[in-house]
Amino acid sequence: MFSAYAIGICMARALFLSVPLHGHVRPTRDVVSALVRRGHTVRYFAGAALDDVIAAMGAEPSAYRSADVGRLPALTQELPRLPLSMMELSASVLANDLDEFRRWAPDYVIADLLAPWGYWVAGLLDVPLVVSVPIFALDRRVALDAMNAGARPASVRSTLTKVGALWTARTLHRRLVRRYGVRGAHISATAFPHAGLQVVYTTRTLQPHNERFASPGWTFAGPPIPTLPRSSASPAGAYLSLGTVFQGDGVLLSTCASAIADETGHVVLSTGGKELPQALSGDTRVHVTRFADQNAELERAALFVTHAGLGGVQESLLAGTPMVLLPQMPEQLLVASRIESLGAGIMLRSGQITPETLRSAVRRVLSEPSYRAAAERLGATIRSESSAEAGVNAIERFVAQS
């Protein structure tokens, strides 16, 4: 009986519906690679810019026919409208891609948290759904922590925009239910997933209120573990990256780089592909690159200044590098608050970021050994708790039982 079960699962075809965001695709590396090693065929939809990353996992990179998915990075910057944007994207993907998904006939669907169309696709194809969660798992209690950390609407206008967007999103949801005959994704699904299984790319130790996610519907596979050899050189300088989405007009990066260089003497600045103001080009203390080998830079750096995306934060902990955290989005506020509470960094909210506060935070993290000690301790915990194989075991059990 076990043999038949194993053979059936190892020949499974997985349809992975993701989004064109590095911070959502890269965390899946070890789990997808482990699925492929076990014989699963994984067809992975994201964006052309991530095809090399996906191919390196052993999966088949595929392109959505819906051109609207390519707009998602820009849409995420309009947070009050995000629930409506996600419902509109779901309608577009179903209209343009559903026939292709049907023809491929997957045995199960894995959908990114920001790809709620996966709920509809799995329902229409009558196959199991797994949700891929590249941020902390959320429920009402964890969301309250985010609000306490400062994740609130920026203005009355923002609140009104969100209310209007939610109303319109509900109307569109009802239309999709009538058209396709399945419930699909509720408008809250991009924050509170409700599939039979959620795979989270962090560890239980790092996850806030982890006792609330003890049911079999949640599995914590941990982040991808770097394959680089640990550096024996003494860390020096700083590495600065604010991701690829929320960077404003480049002034924030330039301000940060100059202030950090005042304390560290040398900064490697990754712009995430963005152009910077000319004013920074003459500062010889700052080495600017469009994209960096982040794991290698974190191994060399004494400090990481980051927007507090969960992926980058965990890479920093794995390198034993303490942080100054400058969150730009609600989930980043939650991550930054968690890391600060665990002693591995200092958080500055957007309204607190000035050259003076940055210099002070950098000086404190570099001068107090407890920050590096906490980062090293948490990094060791992540290494011991992470298991892509355990994540795959959970997926195979769920698919076999569904």
pTM: 0.90
Closest CA to 316 of 336, 333, 287: 336
How far CA 166 is from CA of 7, 94, 156, 162, 188, in Å, comes to 45, 20, 15, 6, 10
Q: What SS3 class is residue 238?
A: strand
State residue 2's pLDDT score. 36
| Exposure b/e, 385-394, CB count within 10 A at least 16 = b | bbbbebbbeb
The domains located in the chain, with CATH, are 2-225+386-401 (3.40.50.2000), 238-383 (3.40.50.2000)
Rounded to whole angstroms, the Cα distance separating 371 from 388 reads 28
In the sheet where 323-325 sits, what is the strand order? 286-289, 267-270, 238-241, 303-306, 323-325, 345-347
Name the amino acid, one letter, at 86: M
**Spans of the chain below 70 pLDDT:** 1-10, 150-160, 228, 230-232, 244-251, 273-282
Q: Which two tokens stand for residue 161?
A: 């925009």
Give the phi and the psi of residue 80 in degrees, each rounded to 5: -60, -30
Q: Kindly state the helix (H) or strand (E) to which residue 12 belongs, with its residue range.
A: none
